Structure 1
């Protein structure tokens, strides 16, 4: 297992092989994923698809990746299945080939250094690579070095038996350039074909899945002759994220039907199978259940302030000044009211929850709680950091991302600004030709989402807190981008002509793991469900000590 420490000379400066897990982690916030069918199938069954864990900025993706890796080590390393983790600490937007070389080198070392891998038959190939990398006068070309490190890696993996399994956990790679992401996609596909299970975190769902449902005529019927249950009507079948396709006619079979021994029964199918999983990626939303989040808030408060009546599992110290203030208050439900306020303000977001708790844990009295109508400084700092990821892109992408965020946060759009309208705004007033709404989501670096729905697509602010941040002018760069776009009433902007060719859909959608409702096939992605920004009802605030941007 890799440990954090001084980088070795072959390590890329932005790649880390390990991340320490804080002792303050509340396990229930992360262990929900281990109960999901999609994770169990990815880690335990013979599947070849890659698992994407989707979460907005601050959703806890890095922590989740580290905890998943530790869970896999405890479960599988004793039987010879290595677990390799790679954390990209910042997006790579240049020198992509050199990064790719260091990435493959890091994967090789992660596998070769794991004691359970056993004999290493790739030493000769690896020696050739190290000579090319470090000992040649002037060095060999990058394409040659890539070929050599691939040969060493593939020899190592190819020497394993067919039941061999390795796990590769990637975090932070979604902020890399699109060129590098395409290069990595090719490399990861090869690794998956050689028995490596790949899990990657991402701010947006990079790869599409198709909305589909089980086609079997007896779907929902148990097959027990003593049962009088009827098959579920097609119109009532839920959508699927995992399923089997018939190799001949591509009809769909859900996992429960496959487990019952059913096969393709389409009348026009000549071979009736075999049934295979034909997709390469499955998305899962990072969305802890509400009860563990509530339990975490109670645990954190009582760990800091003592027994304030929340009945948490925390080891409770003597009452703090804030704890005494709560216990001496005449309102017996005050502690639970504070918990509810934190839940409401945090919007189900782990990062915002922790930030709100940090504020509470500094208070001395309940009279200090809830003062002011501005975003707290620590939350503003979190969002400033998220916007800096947009600013680090090349000038065209930076401008596209900032202007799209400004436009989405300007008006009271019910579900965000319609993407055809946004594309037209950018084309007419910024001379930016946006080929796809996905370009907008990528440029916004996860700060915009495309909500579910069968109506026209839209780009919406990802959380109520970020909406307040944008709407009330907390960021000067977003304000400047807003000034570059036309102003006027929402109705005037909405009357702009829209492009007619908008057909493909790419919005994030929450997908269940059971068979689904029949709809026309369309592209979808997974997202965390949040309250629409039009329900928030913020008013603009001029903050003390800051620019009153107009």
Structure 2
């Protein structure tokens, strides 16, 4: 069995667009300048399409492939070659083996439209120039063969590469793959990658020539003057605008920096149209006025609408479905499946106080995928999800500072906070996002949809419930033993705050449930038995005793975690949106970190 055959199950080279996909949902994305220019021109930039689970990233890439192929007739003199990689499983194989198979897949897809003679000539040419490498390292030979083919094809034709769900690659493999993608871009390939989080931090670039916005506006697609580096947007460049300094000698150069494209929300009107279209596609004409022209005969559900016994109109049902699913495409389709299986409108009112089993299964699948990470990564993810779901149930999320304090992380500056926040967002795989609906200084971490927060809060999952139980038993005020702003060189000096706190710890009895390391269920955590000899040792031993007495946040999920389902009301911000975690946090308020830890 060849190495390529071994690796193939990890991805597919095609994605079938099902008949229940409402393409107008994605019109807003295709109308964006960043996407439109990328699809129409050669030698463009990389696009990193980011968004939470269920927002339609995979479908979006498949629709982009379809639209690119549909435009081939516009320029018959230019051929277009497309390679697609749809990751379907987490990649846990050897890195060289994966890359070798990856190179072979791209080579095969790019040469499928050429004659066999062309493909063979390219490979033989590479064989003559790199025979030594081929015999020594198959991965190097596969890479050289692919690059030689790409250079030859991209010289005159358009080449596109789509890599869907790159997050399935392990961290090191992902970094190696990103390096290869940069080389392919330099050789003329237009690349689109999808992931849960943006792969690059974006910078605010403004157009220097927009007349309607004298102060400039934030743009992703821009050109700069070859000499004076003035920046201009696509609209102004299309007007024939010249550089203020260079005048007639202006040369505008497209900046091919990677662009993050955030699939944050779907237009509300298109979402309502989608639900109406799907209902009438399945149940026939029920008065929604959708643009579905192939409506089937009326179903029993349709007849119950016409009878009007329930008092619920079809329009109310459409709005209710969108409201219950937070405008998430995957959740909307699950709700629609429930409606399609109902025999009458009265059946839709059953079990409204519980999450549908299909949603429970989807969320459980996401946690199972998180649990396949390393121990440290999945424990951090479970802790963060439990913290946001438990502490953010009133205002829709918790501040970054409060999350750091809850997870016992102590960033010393803005850079370390961003690094730790980025790690949390990475390991939670899109189930936690940043809420951009609040001011930048009040940045909050929220669950990606309220339904997932309810699921995590109401003990549907044993591992998250175990993490929540550890949050309840690890609420000792640790910040009192670690003061970032006070002098700790003399812990027992008169009037010293740290000395007073350590003195209080001698008499401190914690009235909380025993943790995993308790000697018996009847013995609570206690600091009252601590002995002190000298001022220096008093500080060290006091901290050591406190550390040994504190229950760790989560050591590992156990087989029989405590289950305590709560009837807690859960509210979140209405419009939860993704944004790059590198934006909006310019400094760390250490005092807030200490206060929120209390």
> What band does the TM-score fall into relative to the shorter chain?
0.7 to 0.9
Query: Residues of 1 paired with 2:579 and 2:484: CA distance?
Result: 27
Higher relative contact order (CA 8 A, sep 6+): 1
3-state SS in 1 of match to 2:441:
coil
Contact 2:435 2:446 (C-alpha < 8 Å) held by counterparts = yes
Within the candidate set 431, 438, 441, 1:455 is matched to: 441
Contact 2:282 2:295 (C-alpha < 8 Å) held by counterparts = yes
The answer to whether 1:188 aligns with 2:167 is: no
Query: Residues of 2 paired with 1:259 and 1:447: CA distance?
Result: 40
Within the candidate set 420, 431, 439, 2:401 is matched to: 420
The answer to whether 1:322 aligns with 2:301 is: yes
Q: State the match for 1:69 in structure 2.
A: 65
Could you tell which deviates more after superposition, 116-125 or 281-290? Answer: 116-125
3-state SS in 2 of match to 1:450:
strand
Within the candidate set 383, 388, 393, 1:403 is matched to: 383
Q: State the match for 1:352 in structure 2.
A: 331
Could you tell which deviates more after superposition, 85-94 or 250-259? Answer: 250-259
The superposition leaves residues 499-539 of structure 1 with CA deviations (integer Å, 9 ceiling, x where unpaired) of 89xxxxxx97669xxxxxxxxxx9449xxxxxxxxxxxxxx
The answer to whether 1:17 aligns with 2:29 is: no
3-state SS in 1 of match to 2:55:
coil
Q: State the match for 2:374 in structure 1.
A: 394
Structure-1-length-normalised TM-score: 0.77
Query: Residues of 1 paired with 2:339 and 2:196: CA distance?
Result: 28
Shift of 1:470: 1.5
Asked which structure has the greater CA Rg, the reply is: 2
Q: CA RMSD in A?
A: 3.6
3-state SS in 1 of match to 2:405:
helix
Query: Residues of 2 paired with 1:112 and 1:208: CA distance?
Result: 34
Query: Residues of 2 paired with 1:89 and 1:475: CA distance?
Result: 24
Query: Residues of 2 paired with 1:317 and 1:282: CA distance?
Result: 41
Query: Residues of 2 paired with 1:487 and 1:214: CA distance?
Result: 53
Query: Structure 1 pair 337/87, CA: closer, same or farther in 2 (3 Å)?
Result: same
Query: Residues of 1 paired with 2:468 and 2:197: CA distance?
Result: 23
Structure-2-length-normalised TM-score: 0.71
Shift of 1:280: 2.3
Query: Residues of 1 paired with 2:222 and 2:483: CA distance?
Result: 37
Query: Structure 1 pair 297/456, CA: closer, same or farther in 2 (3 Å)?
Result: closer
Query: Structure 1 pair 338/118, CA: closer, same or farther in 2 (3 Å)?
Result: farther
Contact 1:302 1:316 (C-alpha < 8 Å) held by counterparts = yes
Query: Residues of 1 paired with 2:313 and 2:22: CA distance?
Result: 23
Within the candidate set 423, 438, 451, 1:439 is matched to: 423
Query: Residues of 2 paired with 1:211 and 1:494: CA distance?
Result: 36
Shift of 1:249: 5.8
Query: Structure 1 pair 352/126, CA: closer, same or farther in 2 (3 Å)?
Result: farther
Q: State the match for 1:110 in structure 2.
A: 109
Shift of 1:495: 9.9
Q: State the match for 1:476 in structure 2.
A: 462
Query: Residues of 2 paired with 1:283 and 1:91: CA distance?
Result: 23
Shift of 1:273: 7.0
Query: How many residues matched?
Result: 476
Could you tell which deviates more after superposition, 244-253 or 31-40? Answer: 244-253
Contact 1:122 1:153 (C-alpha < 8 Å) held by counterparts = no
Shift of 1:126: 6.7
Q: State the match for 2:492 in structure 1.
A: none
Query: Structure 1 pair 118/160, CA: closer, same or farther in 2 (3 Å)?
Result: farther
Query: Structure 1 pair 486/81, CA: closer, same or farther in 2 (3 Å)?
Result: same
Q: State the match for 1:303 in structure 2.
A: 281
Query: Structure 1 pair 197/274, CA: closer, same or farther in 2 (3 Å)?
Result: closer
- The structure with the largest helix share of the pair is 2
Shift of 1:498: 9.7
Could you tell which deviates more after superposition, 168-177 or 336-345? Answer: 168-177
Q: State the match for 2:44 in structure 1.
A: 48
Contact 1:246 1:276 (C-alpha < 8 Å) held by counterparts = no
Q: State the match for 1:289 in structure 2.
A: 267
- The correspondence of residues 179-328 of structure 1 with structure 2, limited to 5 A, is 179-216=172-209, 219-220=210-211, 231-234=212-215, 237-246=216-225, 250-265=229-244, 275-277=253-255, 279-285=257-263, 287-314=265-292, 315-328=294-307
Shift of 1:342: 0.3
Q: State the match for 2:156 in structure 1.
A: 163
Q: State the match for 2:562 in structure 1.
A: none
Shift of 1:93: 4.2
The superposition leaves residues 99-138 of structure 1 with CA deviations (integer Å, 9 ceiling, x where unpaired) of 12211111111112224898223221576899999xxxxx
Contact 1:41 1:47 (C-alpha < 8 Å) held by counterparts = no
Q: State the match for 2:122 in structure 1.
A: 122
Could you tell me which runs of 5 or more consecutive residues in structure 2 were left unpaired when the two chains were aligned: 411-415, 486-575, 585-598
Query: Structure 1 pair 156/370, CA: closer, same or farther in 2 (3 Å)?
Result: same
Query: Residues of 1 paired with 2:334 and 2:405: CA distance?
Result: 38
Query: Residues of 2 paired with 1:174 and 1:401: CA distance?
Result: 15
Query: Residues of 2 paired with 1:313 and 1:418: CA distance?
Result: 43
Query: Residues of 2 paired with 1:498 and 1:24: CA distance?
Result: 58
